[in-house]
Structure 1
Amino acid sequence: MNLRRMGAVVLKELRQLRRDKLTFVMIAGVPLLQLVLFGYAINMDVRGIEAAVLDQANTAQSREAVAEIASSQVIEVKYRLDNPQQIDQLMRQGRISAALVVPRDFDTRLQRHDPTRPPLQLVVDGSDQSVQASARQLAAFPLAGWSGVPGVEVVNFYNPERLAPLNTVPGLLGVILTMTMVMFTAVALVREREHGNLELLIATPVSPWELTIGKVLPFVGIGLIQVSVILVVSHWMFAVPVRGSLLDLYGASLLFIIASLALGVWLSTLASTQFQAMQLAFFTFLPQILLSGFMFPFAGMPKVAQWIAELMPLTHYLRLSRGIMLREAGLLELRLEMLILIVFCVALLGLAVSRIHKRLD
């Protein structure tokens, strides 16, 4: 063991890291990102769940009870409804995650103190486990004059048995596609540059658009195959249903695959080596999986974190996949999420094409 020779190797590695600015940024960036996300954005104590109220009693006591529930800050009342059909419509569209129902005989139930017939009913979107968990907090909420007896009955729509795979699998669709599609294409152009294949492209009339789309198209088929495999295995092993249109699910998945591939191609234009491309892919994957609502409740995040999450394609695909698979929603009902993904695809593909140059440098 020659310490002098070993020291020379160490010095060489430090100089190489200093020249590799991206790796140097990642050394500090990844810990800071994780610290901010876990310390600031991730909050398991869910507050402000978007909800509606259907007050069929419309008495002074019922209005006081609704105000009492709202004061817990677990739900945030966004809509006042006139009939029960509106609950299903808003929940299918993903505009609310809960609905507080006050029955017509609310005052009578309140006076009887019958624990088998709580005076209030909370309907929750069972396709989101975090919403279910928060709703259970309100299930034990004592109304004034009920002497600690729970006054809220919780009803789970779409997943009454609270089966975990029904919540997990639609999210896994997006997570798996993000990991594979972004990673595959992030190294695509970089690999061409490292292997010298761009020398051949320089002598051809291939345009940046043709090069980009040609790189993306093969992976679109791979992504659709992955969707099929996940759906078949999840139905066979966990009995996860597709209650909506299978064609709608594939249409939403196709759009998300293109968005993920566009992100990967753009990252490949920022990197000089395949290792850097993989670093950038991981750097974008981490915020998506943590902020999209897959692992942690979206409603529990600060507003700033929610705004950042709205810029990520996985956030919108989770809403699409859960809506179609579990809530039987159609693409027209989820058209806002589709529109955002379309804008994301066009913007990222355009940005990637603008950065592609058929040059060796």
Structure 2
Amino acid sequence: MNWRRLLAIVVKEMRQMRRDRITLAMIIGIPVMQLVLFGYAINLNLRGLDAAIVDEANTSGSRAVVMDMLATGVIRPVAEARTPQELVDMLRRGEISVGVAIPPDFERRRIDGREAVQVMVDGSDTVVQSAAIQLARMPIDGGASTRPGTNADIAAPISVVAFYNPERRSAVNIVPGLIGVILTMTMVLFTGVAIVRERERGNMELLIATPISRAELMIGKVLPYAAIGLVQTTVVLLLGLWLFQVPVLGSVLHVYLAAVLLILANLTLGLLISTKAQSQFQAMQMTFFVFLPSILLSGFMFPFAGMPRVVQWIAELLPLTHFLRLIRGIMLRGASLWELWPDVLALVAFTAVMMTLAINRFRKSLD
């Protein structure tokens, strides 16, 4: 062992690392990102679930029950509904996570000790379902009874009805999300090294000399991987149905259309990374830097509703966030792709922006 030669190698690696700005950023960026995400953004104690309330009784007691529920902080009204059926439709479209229905005969039901309030919850997310169940366990009495001759409070029995996953099976929620996770990891990585690999193999000069345009080159790089993504989607769907009996309540065609939207979004993001990276190793590093927040902030591992508002705004920039809403809405709630149009538009816009940036970035790298 020659210590001088060993020291020379150590110094050489440190100098090379110092010149590699992406690696240097990852050394500091990854621990900072994990600390912020796990310490600040991830919250399993859900509060402020999106809700809508239908009070058909409209009595002082029913209004007091609503105020008691809102005071718990578990739900917050974000939409208006007039009938319980509208609540069910909102749940299917993913506009709310919890619906509260108070029947017209609320007072009689409360006096008789029967179910007086019904809480409808989107059970496709088991964590949200568990949080909503807290409402039925909290001491909500609807205020003191104002009926003559009654001195004690009369509790308002609350029932919780879980739609779409009454058995509370975790696989029902996880398997559809795994389609997005797998497509995000593989599609970004595949195209993340596409341009870099051509450059390292010496094929870039040949491609530049051909009459092919920048847009043709980029789109040509994307299309083969899009077919691979559809194959991966099919494998996960079949295994999920066979091993875990995960239902597909909506249209299978809409499932594949949603998958195509995510595939294109991830492929264009990978192309942008590929035009920035100087080596395949850098491309993999940058892919990991994108993949980590996608997994943690999209709602796959941790509930989206539990994150601070600022973090939710950041998560809205991630394709996986919108895909999870699409795939769970279609597969688990039976919604159509057109009912979930805001997330469709978000993925289309993301794809257009990433492809434009990748094409412009590729042109600049050739100058």
* TM-based fold match above 0.5: yes
Deviations for 1:81-137, whole angstroms, at most 9, x for unmatched residues?
22122012111111111101112222123223x3xx342211000111221121122
Structure 1 residue 143, shift from structure 2 partner:
1.5
TM-score, structure 2 normalization:
0.94
Secondary structure, in 3 states, of the residue corresponding to 1:220? helix
The structure 1 residue matched to 2:134, chosen from 134, 137, 140, is 137
Runs of 4+ in 1 over 4 A off after TM superposition: 145-150, 358-361
Partner of 1:59: 59
Q: What is the alpha-carbon distance in structure 2 between the residues aligned to residue 200 and residue 59 of structure 1? A: 78
The structure 2 residue matched to 1:341, chosen from 333, 336, 347, is 347
Structure 1 residue 240, shift from structure 2 partner:
0.7
Q: What is the alpha-carbon distance in structure 2 between the residues aligned to residue 38 and residue 297 of structure 1? A: 13
The structure 1 residue matched to 2:123, chosen from 121, 126, 135, is 126
Q: 1:359 to 1:290 in 2, by over 3 A?
A: closer
Amino acid at match of 1:21: R
Does residue 352 of the first structure (1) align with residue 358 of the second (2)? yes
Partner of 2:170: 164
Partner of 1:4: 4
Q: What is the alpha-carbon distance in structure 1 between the residues aligned to residue 7 and residue 329 of structure 2? A: 58
Aligned residues between the structures: 358
| 1:238-257 equivalence runs, <5 A | 238-257=244-263
Segments of structure 1 that go 5 or more residues without pairing to the other structure are none
Structure 1 residue 358, shift from structure 2 partner:
8.7
Structure 1 residue 341, shift from structure 2 partner:
0.6
Amino acid at match of 1:31: P
Does residue 230 of the first structure (1) align with residue 236 of the second (2)? yes
Q: What is the alpha-carbon distance in structure 1 between the residues aligned to residue 321 and residue 154 of structure 2? A: 39
Q: What is the alpha-carbon distance in structure 1 between the residues aligned to residue 168 and residue 253 of structure 2? A: 26
Q: What is the alpha-carbon distance in structure 2 between the residues aligned to residue 57 and residue 87 of structure 1? A: 16
Structure 1 residue 149, shift from structure 2 partner:
7.4
Q: 1:32 to 1:359 in 2, by over 3 A?
A: closer
Amino acid at match of 2:331: M
1:140/1:151 contact within 8 Å kept: no
Secondary structure, in 3 states, of the residue corresponding to 2:99? strand
| 1:1-361 equivalence runs, <5 A | 1-112=1-112, 114=113, 117-144=114-141, 151-357=157-363
Over aligned residue pairs, what C-alpha RMSD do you find? Answer: 1.7
Q: Identity of aligned pairs, percent?
A: 55
Q: What is the alpha-carbon distance in structure 2 between the residues aligned to residue 176 and residue 87 of structure 1? A: 33
TM-score, structure 1 normalization:
0.96
Q: What is the alpha-carbon distance in structure 1 between the residues aligned to residue 230 and residue 174 of structure 2? A: 19
Q: What is the alpha-carbon distance in structure 1 between the residues aligned to residue 67 and residue 302 of structure 2? A: 28
Q: What is the alpha-carbon distance in structure 1 between the residues aligned to residue 315 and residue 106 of structure 2? A: 40
Secondary structure, in 3 states, of the residue corresponding to 1:71? helix
Q: What is the alpha-carbon distance in structure 1 between the residues aligned to residue 56 and residue 294 of structure 2? A: 41
2:48/2:74 contact within 8 Å kept: yes
Q: 1:191 to 1:147 in 2, by over 3 A?
A: farther
Amino acid at match of 1:300: G
Of stretches 350-359 and 46-55 in structure 1, the one that deviates more from structure 2 is 350-359
Segments of structure 2 that go 5 or more residues without pairing to the other structure are 145-151
